[in-house]
A and B are shown apart, each in its own frame.
Chain A
Amino acid sequence: MEQAKETKATKKNVFDSFQDGTRKGWNIFVKSMMPSIVMAYTFIYILEATGLMDFLSNLFAPVMGIFGLPPIAVVCLATVFFSRAGGCALAASFVVDGSLTSMQATILLPTMFLIGGTINQWVRIISVCGTRSERQMYIIGLTWILAFVSLWVSRFVFAIFA
């Protein structure tokens, strides 16, 4: 593809670099972001139209309540399993329609990022690095523990910078 051409060039100016980057961004958008958003919106429509959303909301309300988040936050956390970009985009749309506050979305962001890609990055990183299986569990366990501890900690951290 174009990548071969890109690496051959010795030095690119600011304008070419910017365009190369926007092209990469476009690919991320077309290949990852847009499909996962369309998928998520359709899925949410199905959940809402069938009444399953209310059921799930009631189910997860206590858990999400512990972290000061509305039950709909579960949908974002579930979506990042398929796509980090999709989960984040969904959180953005929840802020737009008022289901999440900006602060709640900010708190969710690091957690979504940490648990997103648990499975595929496991194969692509931990297996490639060659860590033995008993220690693989530690790495994934630590990531998940930190992800949920972050739901509490991040609000204080981000409050400083707000």
Chain B
Amino acid sequence: MSENQTKGKVSLVGLIMLIIAFLVFSGIFADAEGPLEVVDFTNLLGSFGKIAETFDFRGKGGVSARDGFLFSLTLCPTVMVAMGLIQIFENYGALTTAEKLLTPIMRPLLGVPGQASLALVGGLSSSDAGAALTRGLYDAGEITEDERDIFTAFQYSSSGIITNYFGGASSLFAYITVGAGVPFAYLFLIKIIEANLMRLIIKMQSKKEAAVK
């Protein structure tokens, strides 16, 4: 995580950035008329010009490696713009704000203490950072073994989701039926579900072990 993020409190700018991030990737303004249309990822991405009024520079009828090469070029701006926007949201404290907002609900949501919110947010941009921070929490005695394993399940599912999703999956953004933010929110929900299923398994196991004793 970058060092320039303000620590301690929810910043107004961060909150605004978080909201803008939500709006841009939700696709809400995809068909908006007037200036609001710029608050949408697909519109920001724009379009390629046409050759002979039909095809973009990829042409038609290409095969194998050469066709794949040209096709990949059509996706390059997508990943660049997506990462560019994410970087702005990060630099202006959207993630720090999310971290502060998450702290009080960590226990009910995932069954781990509030201190883990930093590891959660760190793990959104980098799966390695998330794993290292989780390990650090356990080594420092701030979370128990059970809590660590529940949290590991959360980290593992759709790991490094912000970077991997807005980087890796961005090629599909123009071709899916929903705004780019919708599958993101869906995957985030699955992360929470997976952690809670893990929580349930661990709970049942410890009950069984207690019964055996």
Q: Residues of A with Cβ closer than 8 Å to B? A: 6-7, 9-12, 14, 17-22, 24-26, 28-29, 32-34, 37-42, 44-45, 83-85, 88-89, 91-93, 95-96, 102-103, 105-106, 109-110, 112-114, 116-117, 121-122, 124-126, 128-131, 135, 138-140, 142-143, 146, 150, 154, 157-158, 161-162
Interface string of B53-89 (1 = CB under 8 A from A): 0000000000111011101100110011111111110
The answer on a CB contact under 8 Å between B190 and A114 is yes
In the assembly, what is the distance between CA of A21 and CA of B87, in Å? 5
The B1-40 residues at the A interface (CB cut-off 8 A) are: 2-4, 27
Interface string of B131-172 (1 = CB under 8 A from A): 110110010000000001101110111110000110111111
Smallest beta-carbon distance B171→chain A, Å: 4
Contact B82 A25 (CB under 8 A): yes
Do B155 and A125 touch (CB < 8 A)? yes
Q: Are B193 and A29 in contact (CB under 8 A)?
A: no
Q: Is the CB of A114 within 8 A of B152?
A: no
Collect the chain A residues with CB atoms within 8 Å of residue B84's CB: 17-22, 25
Asked if B43 CB lies within 8 Å of chain A CBs, one says no
**A143 CB, nearest partner CB in chain B, Å:** 6
Q: In the complex where A22-B81, A22-B84 touch, is A88 in contact with B172 (Cβ < 8 A)?
A: yes
With known contacts A20-B87, A121-B127, A128-B135, A33–B194 Cβ distance under 8 A: no
How many Cβ-Cβ contacts under 8 Å join chain A to chain B?
233
Kindly state the separation between the CA atoms of A32 and B151 in the bound complex, as whole angstroms.
28
Residues in A with CB closer than 8 Å to B134 are: 128-129
The residue in chain A whose Cβ has the minimal distance to the Cβ of B128 is A124
Provide the bound-state CA to CA distance between A102 and B85, in Å: 25
Q: Which residues of A contact B27 (CB under 8 A)?
A: 161
Task: Please determine whether B87 and A18 come into contact, CB atoms closer than 8 angstroms.
Answer: yes
Contact partner, B169, options A7, A42, A84, Cβ 8 Å: A84
- Kindly list chain A residues whose C-beta atoms are within 8 Å of the C-beta of B51: none
Query: Are B175 and A92 in contact, CB atoms less than 8 angstroms apart?
Result: yes
Expressed in whole angstroms, the Cα–Cα distance for A83 and B86 within the complex equals 21
Most buried by B among A114, A116, A140: A114
What CA separation (Å) do A37 and B68 show in the bound complex? 6
Among the 9-residue stretches B95-103, B104-112, B180-188, the one with 4 or more Cβ atoms under 8 Å from chain A is: B180-188
Inter-chain CA distance A38–B64, complex, in Å, is: 8
Which residues from B are CB-within-8-Å of A7? Answer: 2-3
Q: Which residues of A have CB within 8 Å of B87?
A: 17-18, 20-21, 24
CB–CB A135/B149 < 8 A: yes
Count chain A CB atoms within 10 A of each CB in B82, B164, B172 and give the residue with the most: B172
Report yes or no: B186 in contact with A110, Cβ–Cβ below 8 A.
yes
- Residues of chain A with a CB closer than 8 A to B76's CB: 26, 29, 33-34
Whose C-beta in chain A lies nearest to the C-beta of B157? Answer: A143
Given A139-B156, A143-B194, are A37 and B132 neighbors across the interface (CB < 8 Å)? no
The answer to whether A142 and B153 have CB atoms under 8 Å apart is: yes
Q: Let me know if B168 and A85 touch, CB within 8 A.
A: yes
What's the Cα separation between A139 and B151 when bound, in Å? 10
Top 10 A-B pairs, shortest CB-CB distance: A41-B68, A21-B87, A25-B83, A21-B84, A45-B64, A25-B80, A85-B168, A128-B131, A37-B72, A22-B80
- B70 → chain A closest CB, angstroms: 10
